[in-house]
């Protein structure tokens, strides 16, 4: 079953590469982007769109990684607190009951 997933993934990647290639061939008009005090060099429309897509993917991966690391750190801290609480509970339950 793992080989089927690899084949499907390879087909999807090949499909996406072909779509990007066809897109870039059909959108070769050059444009330059103007920011406040900066103007970029002229590149094709497809270049700018693919660049924006890749930049968005990279930013998304970075944000997800930061969030995952934060959750992992919180989980480790909670596990430590749980371990300490379990040790305290075991210590309290092993002590003989006190009566007044």
* Backbone angles phi and psi of 35, in degrees to 5: -105, -170
Identify the pLDDT of residue 20.
82
Q: Where are the domains of the chain?
A: 1-28+43-92
8 A C-beta contact, residue 24 and residue 45: no
Identify the pLDDT of residue 1.
80
State the Cα–Cα distance between residues 46 and 19, nearest whole angstrom.
Answer: 11
* Backbone angles phi and psi of 43, in degrees to 5: -135, 170
Find, among 41, 45, 40, 3, the residue nearest to 20 by Cα. Answer: 45
Identify the pLDDT of residue 35.
84
**Which runs of consecutive H residues, i.e. helices, occur in the chain?**
2-26, 45-94
In tens, the pLDDT along 49-75 reads 889 989 999 999 999 999 999 999 999
What is the pTM for the complete model shown? 0.62
């Amino acid at each position: 079953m793992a080989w089927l997933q690899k084949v499907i993934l390879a087909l999807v990647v090949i499909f996406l590469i072909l779509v990007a290639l066809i897109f870039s061939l059909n959108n070769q008009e050059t444009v330059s982007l103007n920011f406040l005090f900066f103007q970029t060099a002229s590149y094709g429309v497809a270049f700018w769109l693919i660049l924006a897509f890749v930049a968005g993917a990279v930013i998304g991966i970075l944000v997800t990684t930061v969030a995952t690391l934060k959750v992992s750190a919180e989980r480790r801290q909670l596990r430590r607190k749980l371990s300490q609480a379990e040790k305290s509970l075991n210590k309290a339950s092993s002590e003989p009951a006190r009566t007044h």
